[in-house]
Amino acid sequence: MSESTVFCTCTHSEKSTKYSEIEKVIELYRDKEGSLIQILHLAQEIYGHLPLELQQFIASSLDIPLSEVSGVITFYSFFSTKPRGEHTIRVCLGTACYVRGGKKIIERLSEILGVGLGETTKDGRFTFEIARCIGACGLAPAMMIDNVVYKQVNVNKLESILAQY
């Protein structure tokens, strides 16, 4: 899938409302040291992702450099600068999961979904990622969809798991 620029598809009033909500979050946390991560979490929850325009708004509102905001966003994997799918699929690639077939699961999911790692399906249903460990080593390989953990996954189970979503 080629890299493309995605612009906000919300109406002007929806965007304005979301920015107003984010502004309230910023006001709530403005004077609390070390609150940037909390602000970014809440902003992403409100807006759905953290595009450059929103990063600039947050940096300006907090009177901090854009590089500081951008640095935090790019460092932590739970922040996204691109729109995400309705559901997030994370395949564990911790040692136990990798050894027991995690890579095969990734390859098959990529075929089924028609996207690579870090991408979102065209219909917006799924974002496909890896996780370093999800804590289900004894029942590896494992994957998560949203907050549901699937254990002892194999390539033959994938389509039935996805059908639930």
pLDDT at residue 9 greater than cutoff 80 = no
pLDDT at residue 2 greater than cutoff 90 = no
Record the pTM.
0.67
Q: Tell me the two tokens of residue 146.
A: 């949203």
Beta carbons of 56 and 92 less than 8 angstroms apart: no
pLDDT, residue 121, reads 96
pLDDT, residue 10, reads 58
Please compute, for residue 72, the number of CA atoms within 13 A of its CA located in the half-sphere on the CB side.
17
Looking at residues 43-70, what average pLDDT do you find? 96
CA distance 16 to 38: 21
Contacts (Cβ under 8 Å, ≥6 apart) of 157: 150
Beta carbons of 89 and 127 less than 8 angstroms apart: yes
Peptide bond into 141 cis (omega under 30): yes
What is the CB neighbour count within 10 angstroms for residue 147?
A: 6
What is the CB neighbour count within 10 angstroms for residue 23?
A: 14
Beta carbons of 119 and 1 less than 8 angstroms apart: yes
CA distance 58 to 76: 17
Q: Give domain limits for the chain.
A: 12-75, 87-163
Fold type of domain 87-163? Glutaredoxin (3.40.30)
Per-residue pLDDT tens over the stretch 118-137:
899 999 999 999 998 999 99
